[in-house]
Amino acid sequence: MQSVIRVELPEQSYDIAIASGSLDQLGEQCSGLSLGKKVLVVSNPVVFKHYGGIAIASLKSAGFDVYTCILPAGERYKTLNSIQKIYDVALEHRLERSSTMVALGGGVIGDMTGFAAATWLRGINFVQVPTTLLAMVDASVGGKTGVNHPQGKNLIGAFYQPRLVLIDPEILKTLPVREFRAGMAEVIKYGVIWDAGLFSQMEESKRLDQMRYLNEGLLTEILNKSCQAKADVVSKDEKEAGLRAILNYGHTIGHAVESLTGYRIVNHGEAVGIGMVAAGEIAVHLQLWDQESTQRQDALIKKAGLPTRLPAGLDLDAIADVLQTDKKVKAGKVRFILPTQIGVVTITDEVPADVIRQVLHQMQAA
């Protein structure tokens, strides 16, 4: 059974199509979008080995000419250098304005492919086929694309919407456990910022740390409700003028942690988990929400097998410094998304530096 979530935007709306086993209908789904004949599939070696064959066969049988660009896996390759490799392949096969780039991979591949599609010939078609839970529920929806600057995450990029997001939950069966948990961090985020019902459903599940412990109904709910939450927020505020900022819950300190550990020690989801714990504690300090709520949140994060403390050896001054380079800084003030109850958050740039420091100090590895 397929569920379709429509992301309504002023310039270009698109569907998120969620259905088990749908990867082999990729070509068919693309056929309905009036795309040109040429398709460039961008992926990484691991994902491509598992799913490249199915994706390409499906596209070819729908009549597309298919080319590939395989980039090394990992956040540290999310650079302008990788984008240049995509450009080179695009040039080699003479991609045209009507051509399409398909991102077959996780958030890193999706962000880079989207940015390359946004900037090749000033913008060609773009289709997302996310292969991680994180990319399915977050990165592939909403049009944020880009790469890292050596000194900061996602500093270079563009808002650019896909024509289609195709989500096949079957793909998650080969996802490493650690990657699954990383995705759960974003799912928990939607529970805290937007959907108290989803939060409760996850509380009812005995375990959340591996996909095989989730019943199929819960997985479907997780995918649908997360994508719906993101679609709701993005439709209301595509370019992050206001509301959309709530999606950055847990990301302010999360990004700093990722950046300072060179994108190697903790992955994005783990960093967001840590960032949510920090944001929750800050909210308690500022008396925005209560101890019980923050404990419920932290319990869910732990149940998903995610860390709730800072990685060992992180310098608190360095974190404070990196916070100043965050995209969300305005007039020198760091912007925080803080919870007020399960399902509701507020945006503030009035968090005293000593509160941040105190919370981070509590969270240092024992």
The CB-of-311 to a second copy minimum distance in angstroms stands at: 24
Pairing between strand 38-43 and 65-70?
Answer: parallel
User: Does 109 appear as a known binding residue?
Assistant: yes
Instruction: Give catalytic status of residue 81 as yes or no.
Output: no
Contacts of 172 (CB under 8 A, 6+ apart): 132, 133, 136, 180, 211, 219
Nearer to a second copy, 276 or 323 (CB): 323
- Among this protein's residues, is 255 annotated catalytic? yes
Catalytic residue among 238, 240, 258, 270: 240
- Strand, helix or coil at 150? coil
Name the segment binding a second copy (CB under 8 A); options: 100-108, 119-127, 202-210, 269-277.
Answer: 119-127
Using left for φ > 0, alpha for ψ between -120 and 50, and beta otherwise, residue 19 falls in beta
153 annotated binding-site participant: yes
- In the complex, the smallest distance separating the C-beta of residue 68 from a second copy, rounded to whole angstroms, is 20
The count of other CB atoms within 10 Å of the CB of residue 122 is: 7
Nearer residue to a second copy within complex by CB, 148 or 228: 148
10 near a second copy, judged by CB under 8 A: yes
Please give the distance of CA 45 from its chain centroid, rounded to a whole number.
20
Binding mask 29-48 for a second copy (x = CB under 8 A): -------xx-----------
Please give the DSSP secondary-structure letter assigned to residue 92. Answer: H
Q: Does 324 bind a second copy (CB under 8 A)?
A: yes
Q: What is the dihedral of CA 54, 107, 145, 329, to 10 degrees?
A: 170
Q: How far is CA 74 from CA 77, 110, 262, 266, in A?
A: 6, 12, 11, 12
Using rule CB under 8 A, residue 327 touches a second copy: yes
Closest-CA residue to 18 (of 111, 128, 110): 128
Site size toward a second copy (CB under 8 A) is 39
**90 within 8 A of 120, measured Cβ to Cβ:** yes
Beta strand 14-18 with 3-7 is antiparallel
What is the contact surface with a second copy in residues (CB under 8 A)?
10-11, 36-37, 80, 84, 87, 91, 94, 96-98, 115, 118-123, 144, 146, 149, 151-152, 154-159, 239-240, 324-325, 327, 329-332
Residues with catalytic annotation? Answer: 122, 144, 186, 230, 240, 244, 248, 251, 255, 268
Annotated binding-site residues for Zn(2+) read: 186, 251, 268
Annotated binding-site residues for NAD(+) read: 107-111, 131-132, 144, 153
